[in-house]
Chains A and B, each alone.
Chain A
Amino acid sequence: MTYKNPPTTPRKSATFDDYTLSEIRRAAATGIYDIRGAGAKRKLPHFDDLLFLGASISRYPLEGYRERCDTSVVLGSRHAKKPIELKIPITIAGMSFGSLSGPAKEALGRGATLSGTSTTTGDGGMTEEERGHSKQLVYQYLPSRYGMNPRDLRRADAIEVVVGQGAKPGGGGMLLGQKISDRVAEMRTLPKGIDQRSASRHPDWTGPDDLEIKILELREITDWEKPIYVKVGGARPYYDTALAVKAGADVVVVDGMQGGTAATQEVFIENVGMPTLACIRPAVQALQDLGMHRKVQLIVSGGIRNGADVAKALALGVDAVSIGTAALVALGDNDPRWESEYNALGTTAGAYDDWHEGRDPAGITTQDPELMKRVDPIAAGRRLANYLKVMTLEAQTIARACGKNSLHNLEPEDLVALTIEAAAMAGVPLAGTNWIPGKNGF
């Protein structure tokens, strides 16, 4: 009998993992960086790393389902003559007509309206579907100014000056030729079928002093009626929030890196910006330092999925949250019922993110007339409303357990962190300790 040397088990590199290797091969073959939709997919410190303490001997709970727990919020009370009053502190984030189909935009408007909340336009102007079906519509004022006009500005319920978004702070958008249909091209004043590049900075202002003058112009055009939001990507939340307040914003929107985009470079999505969890406390701190907390409202977005996330964000001092990716999933995005079609596109339900290619089997991120028929705006709007209702009930359940008769009475004291990272980012103690990393010199 001959002795055989035992073989070594094949070992793959943690650094050069399968995904990384595939991306190197893809780049080498095509010479084009990977473009995709959605937000950061890497594992990040998030709301899952926080827990509520609930009531105990020293804190008594409110009766679940019985006692009042207010969910309403008013946005824009600082300067606007007509602030926005929402029944729930969950809004629908800006997503463009162009990146989304007309029926999908209509469904977002219907779902938001049924739930007593607002929806938001995007980098493509305001459509009739959206205006008609949205009781409260926030009109984005973007660097590209596609479709921007004073008439739509006046029929909006609020104006959101977009400085950046979490998926790509400092970057512009792009919409590939497949999605530049006649209607999209006309709204954006572009030739049909080109790869459209959106500007990354505003064409007529730079810096906080200019922003103040720009906000004055928007207020003058709309006779000081509309709340003015300023949206920033989660990069320097303390200073961006402070500067937005200084520039006169009624509402500051901070979008963390899990916040989605219609399309940008993968390298941008995964490597620029900060996790949502890391953005909240600095933004709240800026408002508190200026004496403007609860006077200028703070909306946070990026990876909000359920009522627990809503409650945790509010406990950290946020006034409202915004959802984009989750709203699309409620409409039907990445639904396993289209699995065979996802497979044909080389992907699987749950991982599909080539939203820019316009071939979405779910009919949401497309301008293909046949595919978009798959979204029934009434049924999809109803699903979104159901989902928003569940999130709200979940958040109320937690708030009552913490003894709060309003979601906005939740506070950092109600929270502990499971990890040192989350404790440091959220500014709450590591569970079972009184240690908040970075506080009191430790």
Chain B
Amino acid sequence: MPATKLSKASQDQASRVFDLDVSSLRELNQALHNLTSGSNETAWEVLHPKGSHSVAVGVDQPVSIDVRGSVGYYCAGMNDGAAITVHGSAGPGVGENMMSGSIVIKGDASQYAGATGKGGLLVIEGNASSRCGISMKGIDIVVHGNIGHMSAFMAQSGNLVVLGDAGDALGDSIYEARLFVRGKVESLGADCIAKEMRPEHIELLQGLLDRAGVTGVKPSEFKRYGSARTLYNFNIDNADAY
């Protein structure tokens, strides 16, 4: 796809409403990247995404972006400060490698939601598929529904909160991320164990639920999971777990 110079008409549109039926993905992302701190264009609306990939990726200004419809892969990828809401469902890798800001998915999310995220908050109001929070590195993820298998695989840091159930092999090879699951866990992955909910975890979880706008749910209804730390240094007697 060649890079195109923004037409006058699309620039006018870009000030607030961006219709992907009329303008290209390239024009949308370029307009978002052209934002500088202090810009007046702080509220954006994206119409007719129709499953487009890479919608609103690499945004680094604290603007709000409402995407009216469902998106394809990597929506809001590497978000660094924007508040992005998808009024629909999201394809694989939503919010991958997010640095800061927030992403809310009103529908469901596909695989790898929040993968490798370094910071910020990802809220999925529906369900998330497999590998949710894979390799997470500081992001907070709150899923109102269920999550699929291999979620939080090699999760390094950050918090994953699941109001529903978790699939097979939760937290396999996990490092220091914290997992809070309210429902059933199909199975735990290698080196992931249930842990005691101490007062600081109750407080942390309450804060996460508040930030995610979750009401009517108590932290005491959750179980905490994390690393047993037995794989941190290689030992041949653990070979079956590697």
Which A residues are closer than 8 A to B by beta carbons? 30-32, 81, 144-145, 148-151, 153, 176-177, 188-191, 194-195, 197, 199, 203-205, 210, 213-214, 216-217, 219-224
Known contacts A204-B96, A217-B74; A149 and B116 CB within 8 A of each other: no
Interface of B is mostly: loop
Whether a CB of chain A sits under 8 angstroms from the CB of B135 is yes
Known contacts A217-B74, A220-B54, A221-B57; A190 and B175 CB within 8 A of each other: yes
Contact A32 B234 (CB under 8 A): yes
Contact B74 A213 (CB under 8 A): yes
A217 to chain B, nearest CB (A): 4
Known contacts A150-B99, A214-B74, A220-B29; A32 and B236 CB within 8 A of each other: yes
Interface of A is mostly: loop
Whether a CB of chain A sits under 8 angstroms from the CB of B137 is yes
B97 to chain A, nearest CB (A): 6
Contact A222 B58 (CB under 8 A): yes
Q: Which residue of A lies closest to B79 (CB)?
A: A150
CB-contact partner of A145 in B29, B58, B72, B97, under 8 A: B97
Complex CA gap A215/B2 in Å reads 14
Whether a CB of chain A sits under 8 angstroms from the CB of B37 is no
CB-contact partner of A223 in B33, B116, B154, under 8 A: B33
Complex CA gap A210/B131 in Å reads 15
B-side contacts of A221, CB under 8 Å: 29, 54, 57-58, 77-78
Whether a CB of chain A sits under 8 angstroms from the CB of B118 is yes
18 A-B pairs (CB sep. < 8 Å): A31-B236, A145-B137, A150-B80, A150-B99, A153-B58, A189-B137, A191-B175, A194-B232, A203-B96, A203-B112, A204-B96, A210-B73, A213-B73, A216-B53, A217-B77, A223-B29, A224-B2, A224-B3
CB-contact partner of B97 in A31, A148, A176, A210, under 8 A: A148
- Over the window 36-76 of chain B, the binary record of Cβ atoms lying under 8 Å from chain A Cβ atoms (1 yes, 0 no) is 00000000000000000110011010000000000011100
Complex CA gap A204/B98 in Å reads 13
A-B Cβ contacts below 8 A, count: 115
B-side contacts of A224, CB under 8 Å: 1-3, 26
Q: Which residue of B lies closest to A199 (CB)?
A: B154
CB-contact partner of A189 in B80, B99, B157, B232, under 8 A: B157
* Closest 5 pairs between A and B when the two form their complex, measured CB to CB: A221-B58, A31-B236, A204-B93, A204-B112, A145-B116
Whether a CB of chain A sits under 8 angstroms from the CB of B176 is yes
A-side contacts of B154, CB under 8 Å: 197, 199, 203
Complex CA gap A199/B176 in Å reads 16
Known contacts A149-B78, A203-B112; A220 and B134 CB within 8 A of each other: no
B93 to chain A, nearest CB (A): 4
Contact B92 A204 (CB under 8 A): yes
Complex CA gap A188/B30 in Å reads 30
B6 to chain A, nearest CB (A): 12
Complex CA gap A31/B238 in Å reads 11
Known contacts A197-B173, A204-B115; A145 and B135 CB within 8 A of each other: yes
Contact B176 A205 (CB under 8 A): no
CB-contact partner of B232 in A144, A188, A195, A220, under 8 A: A195
Complex CA gap A426/B58 in Å reads 43
Whether a CB of chain A sits under 8 angstroms from the CB of B25 is yes
Contact A220 B115 (CB under 8 A): no
Which B residues are closer than 8 A to A by beta carbons? 1-3, 25-26, 29-30, 33, 53-54, 57-58, 60, 72-74, 77-78, 80, 92-93, 96-97, 99, 111-112, 115-116, 118, 131, 134-135, 137-138, 153-154, 156-157, 173, 175-176, 231-234, 236-237
A-side contacts of B153, CB under 8 Å: 203
Contact A217 B3 (CB under 8 A): no
Contact B115 A216 (CB under 8 A): no
Supplied contacts A150-B97, A191-B175, 5 more A-B pairs, CB within 8 Å? A151-B80, A191-B176, A214-B73, A217-B54, A221-B78
B95 to chain A, nearest CB (A): 10
CB-contact partner of A191 in B97, B232, B236, under 8 A: B232
CB-contact partner of B26 in A145, A220, A222, under 8 A: A220
Complex CA gap A217/B237 in Å reads 42
Complex CA gap A150/B81 in Å reads 12
A-side contacts of B135, CB under 8 Å: 144-145, 199, 203
B55 to chain A, nearest CB (A): 9
Counting chain B CB atoms within 10 Å of each CB, which of A203, A204, A214, A216 scores highest? A204
B-side contacts of A150, CB under 8 Å: 58, 60, 78, 80, 97, 99
B113 to chain A, nearest CB (A): 9
Contact A216 B54 (CB under 8 A): yes
A-side contacts of B96, CB under 8 Å: 203-204
A-side contacts of B115, CB under 8 Å: 203-204
Contact B30 A223 (CB under 8 A): yes
CB-contact partner of B233 in A194, A204, A222, under 8 A: A194
Contact B58 A148 (CB under 8 A): no
Complex CA gap A153/B74 in Å reads 16
B-side contacts of A31, CB under 8 Å: 236-237
Complex CA gap A392/B231 in Å reads 47
Complex CA gap A111/B134 in Å reads 37
A-side contacts of B137, CB under 8 Å: 145, 189
Contact A177 B233 (CB under 8 A): yes
Contact A195 B233 (CB under 8 A): yes
Q: Which residue of B lies closest to A198 (CB)?
A: B154
Known contacts A194-B232, A203-B116; A223 and B54 CB within 8 A of each other: no
B-side contacts of A191, CB under 8 Å: 175-176, 232
